[in-house]
């Protein structure tokens, strides 16, 4: 009895039912993923809040330029091989223009589409095509292309216990995927006959080795083979909110059509189809600002209908529902509701906390998609002879790279810039890290700055003030240490022998 009373949460009561569990994560997904995915797609097309939430996730997890990748190939001593890094950067920039087989998307656009599918549907697949492939012409000199695959082509209802196939994913005894059973064509295309999918037999499935498939998915259970939409926990709330808002809009529309009514005295005045002995006549009064009712009959008065619309409690209720939705979807409330009220401190606190959630999703995407894609790309560069590495150099660190998801934007650029400059001046952060936090490549930024300063020098434009001890927002016309005007360029400063 003492053990039973240890946790009240384990006891079912009349007012609190015991939660039901559907077995393993695979069992729960197999029974729910299709319906959840269908409803998520419906709302993703027709509900403005869901459309905005998904776009916000893609914007902050992937960004306009996609997940940035900065090559960091290292030799056996751990030193970065700059010449190899430059080669990889050039090859990567060229490959990113046309990375996929249909040549519809560049790399950033492809990532955004995959991320949208991942968040909405819970999973997305791609097939890596390296080297010569029958019928395929690679778009760049690097023999590597990507085929995007919707999760619909990986059937949820295809399983075979004898071969350890569950939900169309074949695994070995350790739970590692070894193959995927994929439809040759999308089952929802209008040209596909439904007769092929009857009797539990699917003739147009193909087995594709897991070495060629990249399966990116959102999971929350160990051993889960298929993903679940990020909308799963908030779909019911969003559907109710959509219905409620629609009802309020209709009510407000009806209220706007209601004008006034005329009270015609006592009930006895309505007997016999007349009022005060006069036959009833239909009268139409045009409502205008400041109008006067000057043709009311004896005993009549004008009344108006109070519809209680618009509902003053709609916005507080809606905001409460959006806060709960934002939490379940890992989206900030301000971005979801487009409500940016609040102080600088409160907005920054929300932004800092929220970018932790965006960062978790971004690095989940990097680990399952961006990093394997980069490693395949480097291998393709080597196999295709496009990458030249000096003889004797180790290839062990050739695949090293930095992955740069979108960084937290600055709310107050002056304060943020001063803080970054202070951290760099005190050697608490490197300049390259600051540049990366701004979402740029330090190597490219340095090249651009050097070219810019050189061009300014050629035109005789003064250089900016010396940064040592320089405080942003201060007068840039004087040296912060001596008060003297700054030298135009380092070459203009007097040499020590001339002093």
State the DSSP string of 283-317: ------TT-----PPTT-EEE------S-TTHHHH
Alpha-carbon Rg for the chain, nearest whole angstrom, is 33
pLDDT of residue 108: 95
Q: Residue 432 CA to chain centroid, in angstroms?
A: 26
3-state secondary structure 48-116: HHHHHHHHHHHHHHCCCCCCEEEECCECCCCCECHHHHHHHHHHHHHHCCCCECCCCCCHHHHHHHHHH
pLDDT of residue 347: 77
Cα-based distances in Å from 142 to 83, 148, 380: 18, 18, 6
Interatomic CA distance for residues 30 and 225, integer angstroms: 10
Interatomic CA distance for residues 155 and 225, integer angstroms: 12
**pLDDT tens by residue, 63-122:** 999 999 999 999 888 888 999 999 999 999 999 999 999 999 999 999 999 999 999 999
Q: Residue 478 CA to chain centroid, in angstroms?
A: 46
130 DSSP β-pair partners = 144
pLDDT of residue 90: 94
**pLDDT tens by residue, 416-464:** 888 888 988 888 888 888 888 777 778 888 888 888 888 888 888 886 6
Long-range contacts of 250-253 (CB under 8 A, 24+ apart): 251/307, 251/309, 251/311, 252/309, 252/310, 252/311
pLDDT of residue 412: 76
pLDDT of residue 493: 45
Interatomic CA distance for residues 276 and 269, integer angstroms: 6
Percent of the chain past pLDDT 90, that is, above it, reads 45
pLDDT of residue 454: 86
pLDDT of residue 240: 92
263 DSSP β-pair partners = 301
Number of H helices and number of E strands within the chain?
12, 13
Collect the ranges in the chain with pLDDT lower than 50: 197-203, 467-470, 472-473, 475-478, 480-499
Q: Token match 């005190």: residue?
A: 426
**pLDDT tens by residue, 326-347:** 999 999 888 888 888 877 778 7
pTM to 2 decimal places: 0.78
pLDDT of residue 5: 60
Ranges of each domain in the chain: 21-230+335-409, 236-334, 411-499
């Amino acid at each position: 009895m003492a053990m039973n009373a240890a946790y009240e949460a384990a006891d079912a009561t009349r007012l609190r039912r015991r939660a039901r569990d559907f077995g393993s994560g695979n069992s729960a997904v197999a029974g729910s993923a299709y319906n959840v995915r269908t409803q998520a797609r419906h709302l993703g097309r027709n509900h403005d809040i869901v459309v905005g939430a998904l776009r916000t996730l893609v914007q902050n997890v992937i960004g306009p330029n996609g997940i940035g990748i900065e090559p960091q190939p290292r030799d056996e001593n751990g030193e970065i091989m700059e010449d190899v890094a430059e080669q990889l950067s050039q090859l990567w920039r060229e490959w990113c223009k046309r990375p996929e087989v249909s040549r519809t998307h560049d790399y950033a656009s492809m990532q955004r589409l995959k991320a949208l599918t991942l968040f909405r549907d819970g999973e997305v697949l791609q097939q890596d095509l390296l080297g010569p492939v029958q019928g395929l012409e690679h778009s760049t000199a690097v023999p590597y292309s990507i085929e995007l695959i919707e999760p619909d082509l990986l059937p949820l209802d295809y399983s075979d216990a004898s071969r350890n196939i569950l939900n169309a994913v074949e695994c070995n005894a350790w739970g590692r995927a070894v193959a995927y059973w994929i439809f040759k064509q999308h089952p929802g295309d209008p040209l596909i006959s439904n007769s092929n999918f009857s009797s539990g037999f699917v003739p147009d499935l193909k087995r594709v080795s897991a070495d060629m498939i990249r399966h990116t998915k959102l999971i929350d259970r160990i051993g889960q083979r298929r993903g679940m939409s990020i909308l799963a926990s908030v779909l019911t709330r969003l559907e109710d909110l959509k219905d409620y808002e629609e009802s309020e809009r209709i009510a407000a529309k009806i209220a706007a059509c209601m004008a006034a009514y005329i009270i015609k005295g006592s009930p006895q005045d309505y007997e016999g189809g007349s009022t005060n002995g006069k036959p009833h006549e239909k009268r139409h009064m045009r409502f205008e600002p400041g109008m006067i009712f000057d043709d009311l009959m004896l005993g009549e008065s004008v009344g108006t209908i109070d519809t209680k619309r618009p509902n003053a409690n709609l916005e507080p209720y809606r905001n409460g529902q959006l806060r709960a939705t934002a939490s379940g979807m890992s989206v900030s409330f301000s971005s979801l509701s487009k409500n940016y009220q609040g102080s600088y401190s409160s907005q920054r606190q929300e932004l800092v906390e929220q970018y932790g959630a965006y960062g978790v999703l971004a690095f989940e995407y990097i680990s399952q998609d961006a990093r394997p894609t980069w490693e395949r790309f480097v291998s393709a560069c080597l196999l295709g002879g496009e990458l030249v590495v000096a003889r004797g150099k180790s290839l062990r660190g050739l695949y090293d790279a930095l992955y740069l998801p979108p960084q937290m934007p600055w709310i107050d650029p002056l304060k943020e810039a001063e803080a970054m400059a202070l951290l760099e001046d005190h050697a608490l952060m490197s300049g390259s890290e600051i540049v990366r936090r701004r979402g740029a490549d330090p190597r490219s930024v340095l090249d651009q700055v050097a070219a810019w300063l050189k061009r300014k020098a050629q035109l005789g434009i003064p250089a900016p003030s010396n940064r040592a001890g320089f405080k942003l927002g201060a007068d840039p016309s004087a040296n912060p240490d001596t008060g003297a005007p700054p030298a135009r360029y380092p070459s203009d400063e007097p040499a020590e022998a001339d002093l």
